[in-house]
Amino acid sequence: MQPVDVTTLMAVCHDLTTHWLPARCEQVVQLDTMTLAIALRTLDRRGWLIISWHPQAARLHLGEAPPKGPDTFTFSQQLKHQLNQLALTAIVPVAPWERALDLQFGRRPGEPPQWHLYVEIMGKYSNVILVNDQNQIVTAAHQVSDQQSRLRPIQTGAPYQPPPTLLGPLPSRQESQAAWQERVQLVPNRLKTMLMQSYGGLSSALVRSLLTKAQLQPDQTLADLTPADWDRLYAAWQSWLIALEQGQFVPGWTATGYTVLGWDAIAPAPDIHTLLNEYYRRELNHQQFDQLTNHLQQKLRGWLGKLRQKAQTFEQRLDQSAQADQYRQQADLLMAYSHQWQPGTTHMTVTDFATGKPLTIPIDPDKTAIQQAQRLYKQHQKLRRAKDAVAPLWAEVQAELAYLEQVEAALSQLTCYEEAADLEALMDIRNELIQQGYLASPDYRPSDRRSHPVEGFRRLRTPDRLTVLVGRNNHQNDLLISTVATDYDLWFHTQEIPGSHVLLRLEAGQVPSDHDLQYVADLAAYFSRARQADQVPVVYTQPRYVYKPRGARPGMVVYKHETVIWGHPRRLENQPEALPCLESTGA
In this chain, the answer to whether the domains covering 6-140 and 177-269 adopt an identical fold is no
- Residue 446 pLDDT: 60
The C-alpha atoms of residue 378 and residue 3 are separated, in whole angstroms, by 75
CATH of domain 177-269: 1.10.8.50
Residues in Cβ contact with 271 at an 8 Å cutoff, skipping those fewer than 6 apart? 15, 251
Tens-digit pLDDT string for the chain (587 aa): 999 999 999 999 999 999 999 999 999 999 999 999 999 999 999 999 999 999 999 999 999 999 888 888 999 999 999 999 999 999 999 999 999 999 999 999 889 999 999 999 999 999 999 999 999 999 999 999 888 888 889 999 999 999 988 878 899 999 999 999 999 988 888 999 999 989 988 999 999 999 999 999 999 888 888 999 999 999 999 999 999 999 999 999 999 999 999 988 999 999 999 999 999 999 999 999 999 999 999 999 999 999 999 999 888 877 777 677 777 777 888 888 888 888 877 888 888 887 888 888 888 888 888 888 888 888 777 777 777 787 888 888 998 999 999 999 899 888 888 888 889 889 999 999 998 889 887 666 665 444 444 568 889 999 999 999 999 999 999 999 989 999 999 999 999 999 999 999 999 989 999 999 999 999 999 999 998 899 999 999 999 999 988 888 898 999 999 999 999 998 887 665 555 434 444 43
Q: What is the DSSP letter of 545?
A: G
Q: Note if the bond before 392 is cis, omega within 30 degrees.
A: no
Quick one: how far is CA 249 from the chain centroid? 33
On whether the CB atoms of residues 55 and 120 are closer than 8 A, the answer is no
**527: number of Cβ within 10 Å:** 26
Q: How many CB atoms lie within 10 A of CB 91?
A: 20
- Helices (H) and strands (E) counted in the chain, each on its own, are 13, 23
What are the structural domain ranges in the chain?
6-140, 177-269, 318-402, 458-584
CATH domain 6-140 topology = ibrinogen binding protein from staphylococcus aureus fold (2.30.310)
Instruction: State the Cα–Cα distance between residues 302 and 293, nearest whole angstrom.
Output: 14
pLDDT attached to residue 583? 42
Nearest to 421 by CA among 455, 387, 394: 455
DSSP symbol at 340: G
Whether the Cβ atoms of residue 527 and residue 552 lie closer than 8 Å to each other = no
Model-level pTM? 0.79
User: What is the C-alpha separation between 460 and 467, in angstroms, rounded?
Assistant: 6
The contacts of residue 189 (CB under 8 Å, 6+ apart) are 197, 221, 222
In 248-314, DSSP assigns E strands to 252-253, 258-259, 267-268
d(CA 11, CA 209): 15
Residue of 114, 121, 120 lying closest to 135 (CA atoms): 114
Q: Tell me, what's the pLDDT at 575? A: 63
